[in-house]
Every structure is written in structure tokens, then in C-alpha cells.
Chains A and B, each alone.
Chain A
Amino acid sequence: MSATNLRIGAPTGWRGWLLDSAPASRNQARLGRWYRAWLGLRRNGLAMTGLVIVLALVFVALFAPLFANHAAAYTQTLTDRLQPMSWAHPFGTDELGRDIYARVVFGSRTTLTIVALVSLIVVPVGLAMGLPAGYFGGWIDAVLMRLTDIFLAFPRLVLALAFAAALGPGIENAVIAISLTAWPPYARLARAETLTWRHAEFIEAAELQGASHLRILFTQIVPLSMPSVIIRLTLDMAGIILTAAGLGFLGLGAQPPSPEWGAMVSSGRQYLLDQWWVATIPGLAIFVVSLGFNLLGDGLRDLSDSRG
């Protein structure tokens, strides 16, 4: 601890070890970095709120049967249609007498599925386009980035709409349609990250040691690019959820009777003036979840900004 004299009130014990500005080992440095990030996140109340919302979404989606009755979400009870909020139906019932609370709970599965599938497609595609572009440069860069620019210049929602219209409605097609229009920013990002590291000394050292391009890309550059990709993904999640909900609202997402929040808003529209809860409650769910991702992503980006 060489800086003892310059710092006053430095923490001691395990916190001191984690926060040491001169870590002694790679693991200490890594753990310290995570701990610092955690401290930064914890100071940001909004980001913590976002984290809680996102974790809650995942939890509710995974264990949906614990929170609501599956049958209530699907069974049509026409004698019970359009009931206001009550103990039996906390959010009321819809035009087919299904419990809106149960449908919102099970709808979280649809949302999470779309989000997860889109991420699984978009990130690899973006990396596959961006990494070689930044790493090899030259004509590879020119071709890949021109292609990316072309896709970037397309209107996302409308294109997704056209795709969904041609492919036919359904959750898989919605995922494909969204992914097709969502990957270009990741290619740009991956390229920019690669360019930052391309000529770093440790990359050149690895090259001199005879590491193959593929090895350098996967063992060095991909891990280095991951933090910004993850932050971007967190921020994009909200947009993906909103686009998916928009497609659902237009009848191009998950098909009835499976619960989908956007479609629920759409079918509740005609009862808006008298049974306001049918349309507004599912919309509120969309809003809260996308707000959660936005809050979390914003906090994460702030952290990475202040460190960089």
C-alpha cells in the first residue's frame, strides 16, 4: 500500500482488499472491479429499481404457476366477462371472462421468450459482422459496414411489420422480424470496440506469439467487447419489448388464446371507455418492464462512462 499517506479514511479488511488501487493479483483486480461496479450501481437508486424490476420479471416468468392459476388465464367464462377489479380478480376480467391478472403473469413468459430469442440472434449476428470488419479492415470492413449501413437506414418497425405481414403472424416470425432489423447497431459497436483494441500492445504480443486471428478474436477481443455489448443490449431490451408489443397490438405477434400484453391492449380497446382496466393494465405491464430495462441499462452505461 504505497499510497497510504495520500489517502485518509481508506477502508480496511475485505473491503480494503477489494478496493485496493494497487491489486496484487489478477483475481483481486477482477473482483475489485466487480465490487466497484456494484458499489456504483448501489448508489444509483433508479438503476437498483430497474434491477429489481428485471429480476422480478425473470422470476415471475420462470415460476408463473406459483403466482397465478394457469386455468384462469385461458378458460373462457362468458358469465364473468368484463368484471371490475375485485379480490377474486385483482385486475378484473376481459371480454371473454378470463382473469387479467393471470394473463398478465403468464404474458411475462411471452415477453421474456421474445427478448431472449432476439438477444440470442442479434448479438452473434452483430459480432459476426462487426468483429471481422474492425479486425481485418480493408475491403472486408468496407463491404460489411456498407451492408450494415443499408440495414441501419431502414425503418425498423415498418420493416418488421412488412416481414411479419409476409411471414404470417406468430411469435417466431415476430422474433425473426425484430432480429432482422435490430442487429446493425451491434455490428457497429463490435467494430468500434475491435478498433479500440486492435492495436493494443497485448494484442500485438499475442500475434507475435503466433496466436491465430480466430483465437485472438475469441479469447481477447470478444471478452473485451462484451461489457459494452451487454449495456447496449440492456438498453435495447426496452425497445425490443415495445416493438414486440407493437406487433402484438397490430395482431402480428403471439396468436390467441396465448396471452400477449400488446394483443391484450388491442382487444381491450373497444371497452376502453367503460371497462378501462381491460386495455390499460396489460399496457402498464409493458411500461413497467421496459422501464425496468431502461433504468438498469442507463445505470450500467453511466458506470461504464465514468470509468472510461
Chain B
Amino acid sequence: MSASGAAARPSPVRRPFPTAAGVASALRRIARLLGSVALTFLGLTLVTFFIGRVIPIDPVLAIVGDKASKATYDKVAEQIGINLPLPVQYWRYLMRVLHGDFGTSIITAHPVLQDMAHVFPATMELAVVALLVGTLLGVPLGVLAATNRGRWPDQAIRFGSLLGYSMPVFWLGLVGLLLFYARLGWVDGPGRIDVSFDDIVTPITGMITIDSLIAGEYDVFWNALGHLILPASILGYLSMAYIARMTRSFMLGQLRQEYVLATRAKGMPPFRVVWVHALGNIWVPLITVIALTFGSLLEGAVLTETVFAWPGLGLYMKNSLFNADLNAVLGGTLVIGVVYIFLNMLSDVIYPLVDPRARERR
């Protein structure tokens, strides 16, 4: 048997080339993914259509408001085709949405989509920083809790994340403002930036911290950061609570597996067993969790932005809500819903990169 070892053939390292079957399965996967995205999108528009056209007793009145003249009323009634059969109305609604026409906002008198584009970067800026904080702290803490199951680090991390899990974000925001802004003065108050710094930087990405760095306006950057840090930390803490908790539970599932025992049996140090082997196996569910966290940060914006007077999508929706601006509310719902669908799709696309088993599944 050692003869075959001696006769070492010059066998080149074979790189896995995509085979015909592999390409076909990848295409099928993409087709299925797009199918489910389309279906979810249809479901979403059905719901927003239902909310906007079916629930209000008089949808025309909901659009024009009760101070409108008879002529305006009739014009809008004609425009939205209130007398047409519901499926036809839905079809027209869907077509308009697909063309980016979400209607006009009552308060701003702009097209809703244009308003959204204007406020969305502020929401993104906050959510991205919070997600970074949450992930960079949450994953390691979750791992630490799992490997110390039942001992004090686990208890402390679990309790800390349960606390975060239980806090109403709007209340935590108020307490944070009261403590760190009003009493201690460590951070800047509500809003994205001081009024005196308004309009210094031309928006490129719409995220003030990035735009100010691009423009080299460091004063603006520091001021924006001072405003950003409190809401971002609070949202980051809440995200961390969720991510740490899920990481812990995924890790506990992995640490019970046979391969962990085998890896220990061949003498691998705990660091490698835990951070390379076990952690390597939970990226798929973890990516889903991180995507979900991002989604909940976006929708939680309605509450946080209200508390911090943060001029983003959430505050826009909340203001629309109070002015019975249904077009704007539903537009916001659609935008956040689409981002949700996109996030789900994104995690589906990332899976094969982190898990070899997902590469050829069916």
C-alpha cells in the first residue's frame, strides 16, 4: 500500500469548475428566489392596497381631506377609479407603484417617493451605525455566553441582553436624553446637526458624517457625530441584545455537536474549537438574524426618530400619520417592506458564500 504513496503522481490541485449541472441548479435557485421575491412583493402591495382603498370608508376623502371642493373630490374620484371593480383598481395601483408613483403627500405636496429619497439617508446612517455596534459587540458576547453556559459571564450577558430586549425604545431614548444630554451634557441633543451647521455640506450620500468627511468639513463631522452617538448607541445596545441572545442559542446548538467533541479529541485549543469551528457553522442563521435586526432598526425608526427629532423616514411617517396623509404612510410602509424583502433576498444570496452545504442544495 505504501507503493502507491511512493509513486506520487503529479496530480495538480483541481479547482472545482462549475459543471453544467451546477450552473443549472444555480439558475434554478435564482429563479426560485426571484419567484418568491415577486410573490412577497405582490402580497405586500395587496396589503397596502387593501389598507389604502378598502378600509377607509371613503378613500377619496382620505386623499383630498374634508376641506376639498366638490370639483376636486370628483376629479380625484375619477383619477383613482373608485367605481371600477377592485381587481382592476389593484392592477392600476400595482402599475403605478411599479413606476415609482406612490401618490402625492398632502403635507409636503411633493411626490411621496421624492420625499422618501430625501429622508431615507438619515435613517440609513443611524441604522447602519447601530447595526455595526450591535454586531461587533453582540456576536462575541453571545459566543462568550455560550462557552460559559451557566456561569457568571453567561448570566451577566443574558441578563444584560434581556434588559435590552425588554426596554421600550422610545422610553430608553428619553431617559438617555435626560441623562446624557440634559444632565451630563456629554452628547448633543435631538436632531441630526446644529442649526448653525445646516447646509454647509452638499449632500452626496445624504449621510452627513460621510458627506462632511468627503468635503473635509471636520467641524461638521464632529457635530454630526455628537448628535449621532446617543441614538446610535441606544439602538446599537438593543440590536446587540438581540444578536447576542441569538448567537448564544446558535452556539449552544453547535457546541453539542459531535464534530466539536472530535475537534477537542484531536487536541485543538478552545479558541479554535469555538471561534473557528463552531462559529463557522452558525453564519447562515446569524446572517439572517443580522438582516432581521437591520429590518427592525428601520421600522423602529418611527419611534426613535420621533424621540430624537431625527429627520428620517420614521419621523416623516409619524408626521404623515398625524396629518392623515395616508399616501405618505403607505408609501413608507411599502419602502420599508421592499427593503425587508431585499434583506431576505440578500441573506439568501450570501448563504452559499459562508456555507459549502448551501452551494449545491437542490
**A interface with B by C-beta (< 8 Å):** 46, 146-147, 149-151, 153-159, 161-163, 165-167, 238, 242, 245-246, 249-252, 262, 265-266, 269, 272-273, 276, 279-280, 283-284, 286-287, 290-291, 293-295, 298, 305
Contacts and interface: CB of A to CB of B under 8 A. Distances in A.
B126 interface: no
B295 interface: yes
Contact of A280 (B47, B174, B326): B174
A60 B303 CA distance: 28
Nearest to B343: A153
B317 A246 contact: no
B322 interface: yes
Contact of A155 (B36, B155, B182, B340): B340
Contact of B44 (A154, A156, A246, A269): A154
Given A250-B302, A272-B177, A273-B178, A165 B166 contact: no
B167 interface: yes
Contacts of B299: 155-158
B149 to A, nearest CB: 10
B283 interface: no
Contacts of A162: 48, 51, 329-330, 333
B110 to A, nearest CB: 20
A107 to B, nearest CB: 13
Given A149-B40, A166-B51, A265 B170 contact: yes
14 contacts: A150-B39, A153-B337, A154-B337, A155-B295, A157-B303, A158-B336, A166-B326, A262-B168, A265-B168, A265-B174, A272-B177, A273-B178, A283-B175, A290-B167
Contacts of A283: 168, 170-171, 174-175
A39 B55 CA distance: 51
Judged by DSSP, the binding face of A is helix
B165 A294 contact: yes
B273 interface: no
B230 to A, nearest CB: 14
Given A155-B299, A287-B166, A163 B175 contact: no
A290 B162 CA distance: 10
Contacts of A242: 166, 168-169
A250 B318 CA distance: 8
Contacts of A305: 252
B158 A298 contact: yes
B13 to A, nearest CB: 41
Interface of B: 36, 39-40, 43-44, 47-48, 51-52, 55-56, 155, 158-159, 162-163, 165-171, 174-175, 177-178, 182, 252, 295-296, 298-300, 302-303, 306-307, 317-318, 321-322, 326, 329-330, 332-333, 336-337, 340-341, 344
Contact of B166 (A146, A262, A291): A291
Contacts of B317: 158, 161
Contacts of A159: 47, 333, 337
A47 B318 CA distance: 37
Contacts, number: 144
Contacts of B155: 46
Given A162-B48, A291-B163, A155 B298 contact: yes
Contacts of A273: 178, 182
Nearest to A147: B43
Nearest to A45: B155
B332 A158 contact: yes
Contacts of B177: 272
B163 A250 contact: no
Contact of B40 (A153, A167, A287): A153
A146 B39 contact: yes
Contacts of B340: 153-155
A150 B48 CA distance: 13
B171 A250 contact: no
Contact of B302 (A149, A153, A154, A157): A157
B321 A165 contact: yes
A21 B56 CA distance: 61
Given A153-B44, A166-B56, A272-B182, 19 more contacts: A46-B155, A46-B158, A150-B43, A154-B340, A155-B295, A161-B302, A162-B48, A162-B51, A165-B51, A166-B51, A245-B168, A249-B303, A250-B303, A265-B174, A280-B175, A280-B178, A291-B163, A294-B166, A305-B252
Contacts of B330: 162
Contacts of A272: 174, 177-178, 182
B293 to A, nearest CB: 13
Contacts of B333: 155, 158-159, 161-162
Contacts of B52: 166
B249 to A, nearest CB: 8
A167 B55 contact: yes
B329 A155 contact: no
Contacts of B51: 162-163, 165-166
A159 B47 CA distance: 9
A251 B170 CA distance: 13
A166 B162 CA distance: 33
Given A272-B177, A280-B171, A280-B178, A294 B162 contact: yes
A283 B172 CA distance: 8
A167 B40 CA distance: 23
Contacts of B302: 157-158, 161, 246, 250
Contacts of A249: 168, 170, 303, 306
A287 B168 contact: yes
Nearest to B253: A305
A22 to B, nearest CB: 26
A149 B36 contact: yes
Nearest to A244: B168
Nearest to B318: A250
Question: Which of B175, B318, B322 has the most CB atoms of chain A within a 10 A radius of its CB?
Answer: B175
